[in-house]
Chain A
Amino acid sequence: MGVTVKLDHAKCVGHGRCYELAPEVFGEDERGHCTILVECVPPEHEKAALIAAANCPEDAIKLARS
Chain B
Amino acid sequence: MEQKENPCPHTGVLNIIDPEYTAHPQPAYARVLANHRVAKSIAMHSPILSRYEDVVFALRHPEIFSSEMDMQVLLGTKRPMIPQQIDPPRQTRYRKILDLRFSRPRMQALEPELRRHAQQLIDGFVERGECEFDQEFAVPLPCAAFLTLMGLPQEELDLFLELKNGIIRPPVDPMDMIAATEFRMKTGERIYAYFEKAIADRRARPQDDMVTYLTTVDFDGRPLSDEEILDICYLLLLGGLDTVTATLGCSMAYLASNPEQRRKLVAKPELIPNAVEELLRWETPVSLVPRVLKQNVTIGDVELREGALVNILLGAANVDPAEFPDAMNVDFERENNRHISFGAGAHRCLGSHLARMELRAALEEWHKRIPEYQIKPGAVPNVSPGIREQLYLPLVWSA
Q: Is B339 an interface residue (CB 8 A)?
A: yes
Which one of B69-77, B245-253, B288-296, B345-353 contacts A?
B345-353
Is there an interface contact between A54 and B353, defined as CB atoms closer than 8 Å?
A: no
Kindly identify which residue among A13, A15, A32, A55 contacts B102, using a CB–CB cutoff of 8 Å: A32
A13 and B345 contact, CB distance less than 8 A: yes
B: number of interface residues (CB 8 Å): 23
- Cβ of A65 within 8 Å of any chain B Cβ, yes or no, is no
On whether the beta carbons of A15 and B352 are closer than 8 Å, the reply is yes
User: A28-B104, A30-B103, A32-B102 given as contacts; is B337 within 8 A of A55 (CB)?
Assistant: yes
The DSSP consensus for interface residues of chain B is: helix
Determine whether B332 belongs to the interface, using a CB cutoff of 8 Å to chain A: no
Q: Is the CB of A57 within 8 A of B344?
A: yes
Alpha-carbon distance between A28 and B337 when the two chains are bound, in angstroms: 20
Does A56 lie at the interface of the complex (its beta carbon under 8 Å from any beta carbon of B)? yes
- Flag if A14 contacts B348 (CB, 8 Å): yes
The 0/1 profile, CB within 8 Å of B marked 1, for residues 1-36 of chain A is 000000000000111100110000000101111000
Q: How many Å from the CB of B74 to the closest CB on chain A?
A: 26
**In the assembled complex, A39 has its CB within 8 A of some CB on chain B:** no
Separation in Å of the A31 CB from the closest CB of chain B? 4
Q: Which B residues between 28 and 78 are near A, CB-CB below 8 angstroms? A: 56, 60
Q: Within 8 Å CB of B352, what residues of A? A: 15-16
Pick from A20, A33, A55, A58: contact of B344, CB under 8 Å: A58
User: Would you give the shortest CB distance from B7 to chain A, in whole angstroms?
Assistant: 26
Closest to A30 in B: B100
Name the residue of chain B whose CB is nearest to the CB of A32.
B103
B103 is contacted by which of A15, A31, A56 (Cβ under 8 Å)? A31
Closest CB-CB distance, B88 to chain A, in whole Å? Answer: 11
Q: Is the CB of A15 within 8 A of B348?
A: yes
B104 touches A32 (CB 8 A): yes
Residue ID in chain B nearest A33 by CB atoms: B99
* Contact B348 A28, beta carbon cutoff 8 Å: no
> Which of B56, B99, B340, B346: most chain A CB closer than 10 A?
B99
Indicate whether A51 reaches chain B with its CB closer than 8 angstroms.
yes
Given contacts A15-B342, A16-B352, contact A54 B99 (CB under 8 A): no
**Min CB gap B342→A, angstroms:** 7
For A14, list chain B residues within 8 Å (CB).
99, 348
Measured in the bound complex, the distance between the Cα atoms of B336 and A51 in whole Å is 7
- State A13–B103 Cα separation when bound (angstroms): 12
| Chain B residues closer than 8 Å to A15, beta-carbon distance | 342, 348, 352
Chain A neighbourhood of B100, CB < 8 A: 30-31
Judging by beta carbons under 8 Å apart, are B344 and A13 in contact?
A: yes
The reply to whether A56 and B338 contact each other, CB–CB distance below 8 Å, is yes
In the bound complex, what is the Cα–Cα distance between A64 and B254 (angstroms)? 39
Selected from B60, B96, B353, the residue in CB contact (under 8 A) with A16 is B353
Bound Cα distance from A58 to B60, whole angstroms: 9
Contact (A31, B99) CB under 8 Å given A16-B104, A16-B352: yes
Residues of B within 8 A of A58 (CB): 60, 344-345
Task: Report Cα–Cα, A14/B102, bound state, in Å.
Answer: 11
Nearest CB of A to B102, in Å: 7
- In the complex, A15 Cα to B342 Cα: how many Å? 8
Q: For B104, list chain A residues within 8 Å (CB).
A: 16, 19-20, 28, 32
* Cα distance, A31 to B352, chains bound together (Å): 13
Minimum Cβ distance to chain A for residue B210 (Å): 16
What are the 5 closest A-B residue pairs judged by CB atoms, nearest first? A31-B99, A54-B336, A13-B348, A57-B338, A32-B103
Q: A30-B100, A57-B340 are in contact. List 4 more A-B contacts (CB 8 A).
A: A19-B104, A31-B99, A32-B99, A59-B338
Chain B contacts to A: CB under 8 angstroms? 56, 60, 95-96, 99-100, 102-104, 273, 335-340, 342, 344-346, 348, 352-353
A-B contact pairs, 28 of them (CB 8 A): A13-B345, A15-B342, A15-B348, A15-B352, A16-B104, A19-B104, A20-B104, A28-B103, A31-B95, A31-B99, A31-B100, A32-B102, A32-B104, A32-B353, A33-B99, A54-B336, A54-B338, A55-B335, A55-B336, A55-B337, A55-B338, A56-B338, A57-B56, A57-B338, A57-B340, A57-B344, A58-B344, A59-B338
Query: Could you list which residues of chain A lie within 8 angstroms of chain B, going by C-beta atoms?
Result: 13-16, 19-20, 28, 30-33, 51, 54-59
